[in-house]
Structure 1
Amino acid sequence: MNHTCISQAANLTTTPLGGHQVWEVVLIVLVTGPLSLITILGNSLVVISIRVNSHLQTIGNYYLLSLAVADLILGTVSMNLYTAYIIMGRWTLGHLACDLWLTLDYVVSNASVMNLLVISFDRYFSVTRPLTYRTKRTPKTAAVLIALAWVVSFVLWGPAILFWPHVVGRPSGAEAQACSIPFLKVPPLTYGTAIAAFYLPVTIMIILYWRIYWEI
């Protein structure tokens, strides 16, 4: 019985389909492939349009450009690597590539949320303080806010993902073939990062847009 289980586990880790049926692989590709392509094409058009058309190079569109770059990275790198990871059922590119992918994925995903938060603040102040905010709404201010969105996202995720394995060690056995963030198994860290990276920004955005609605 144990020999059979070991053989099945060995087959699962050596098959190129990661234990999936062919139809499952086809379904995964048919769902994730178009999503990735749409994400890449849509955000590429935004980036190119703002880059080549000087009339679109406005303060508000700089924030949209930063958001489009973040989503473009997700569609190009993160989504496709994750699709391959799901299909194969294991991570085969080594620990360094895993750490870099996780860092890129979480930092860029969080940067998307932070860019949306910056856009919310920009719209809020444009509506509620149109005269005073106009003098402060400069390319330099936009560059600082965009940089903060990316830096905060990296500080929140980058060091923890990159250095956690060196502090507590890497998993062994079957878990060594997975590519995931170990510290998210610690409840306080899970709740803390979830609140800081998602729930708090989204709550602030809801409040800001609610205030904008009532101002209009």
Structure 2
Amino acid sequence: MTTRDLKIIDDLITRTNNLPEILHLRAADDGYMLSETDKILLLDTYEKLDDILKEVAAFINVKFPGRQDHMYGWNKIDFDTKIGDFKIITNDREHIKRAWLNGLFDLKSLLKSLKNEVVLLLDNEEQIDKSDMNVRTNNFTGTIIYNESKVTGKQIQSSPRQTENSVTKLPKTTTQIFKDILIGLFVTIIGGIILWFITTILN
């Protein structure tokens, strides 16, 4: 479920609430003749209502496949006058009004139920995403930066896998180089003395 799904439901709710008021035309007084404007208004309203019902059905089929409760709620929506399960044609204004208002009530109730469920699903998915993010932030995946030389101030950036090898390859400082030279000279002198001593004794 995504925020786009929530926007779709909100749009359907808004369009349902903004349907033109035609109850006075559906339950007009006996003998009232519909004008051309009345006919256009009725036709426009029925087309808008039909589009809403089709989109609600498509939303249920795609987002809530197999959900019998939502399918039952959609099938329950009806704007025709009935006696029991049988549709009837009547001039009873109160009966006509009641049928129309009941149909709108059932449609709005279904949309409200769908919205509530979409909101809950979105909240649940956001909680899961936050949990995954917390787990990921506990794992170090960054890089380490160390100084290449105190003189140049250059820096080398390495990946976590290369950090250990990179650190061992740091260039020697002047002091370390000087120490290595002294050690080399010392070893050379001692070696020469030992060699001279052995040669002298053997002779």
- Could you tell me the TM-score, scaled by structure 1's length? 0.31
- Structure number with greater Rg is 2
Query: Which protein is richer in helix relative to its size?
Result: 1
Query: Which protein is richer in strand relative to its size?
Result: 2
Bigger RCO of structures 1 and 2 (CA < 8 A, at least 6 apart): 1
